[in-house]
Amino acid sequence: MALVHLKFSFDGIPGASIPREWSHSGVVGSGDMEVLLTRREQNGRVNVTVCTPVSGFDRVWELVLRRFVAESGCGDLELEINDNNATPFVVGLRLRQALLEARGGEI
């Protein structure tokens, strides 16, 4: 019944953070999510917190997030996710979009 809070931590690339102090992207619609990215110098570490109404998908979150960190080549970040039943594919997509936006790219 209560919301599920998950915490993860991954090895990222030192110095591969975002240009501004923080960036926000996405809307918590049905089947969607938002993410708040904050720059934090911590030897490349990427810490992620997830807040979701769905329980029992800890392992899937870890796999999707691990792959995002590895493939995007990011680092030195805190990610805070508010999720509302987004599928693993949507999560991956939204995270890539969020990083691109934070780095000033066009979608």
Partner 1 sequence: MRYSELQRKSFLEATARERATGLTDEGSFTELAGPRDRMMSPHLPALGEAVSFDDGVVTGVGLVGEHPVFIISQEGKFIGGAVGEVHGAKMAGIFRLALTAYDHAAQEHPHDLERYRPAVVVSFETGGVRLHEANAGLLAHAEIMDLIQDTKGKVPVISLIGSKVGCFGGMGFVAAATDVILMSPQGRLGLTGPEVIEQEIGKEEFDASDKSLISRTTGGKHKYIMCDCNELVEDRIGAFRDALCGLLNRPYSSLCRCRRIGSYELVREQMALVRLAAQLDPSDSKDIWRYYGNAEPDLIPEMEVKEFLKTAHRRPREVE
Question: What residues make contact with partner 1 under the rule CB under 8 A?
Answer: 1-3, 22, 24, 27-30, 32, 34, 36, 51-53, 80, 82-85, 106-107
> Residue 22 or 66: which CB sits closer to partner 1?
22
Least separation in angstroms between CB 37 and partner 1: 10
Least separation in angstroms between CB 24 and partner 1: 4
> Residue 29 or 73: which CB sits closer to partner 1?
29
> Residue 13 or 100: which CB sits closer to partner 1?
100
Least separation in angstroms between CB 11 and partner 1: 26
Alpha-carbon gap, residue 56 to 78, rounded angstroms: 23
Contacts of 6 (CB under 8 A, 6+ apart): 48, 49, 50, 52, 58, 61
Least separation in angstroms between CB 78 and partner 1: 12
| 32-39 β-sheet, strand order | 4-11, 45-52, 77-84, 32-39, 22-26
> Residue 13 or 90: which CB sits closer to partner 1?
90
One-letter identity of residue 59: R
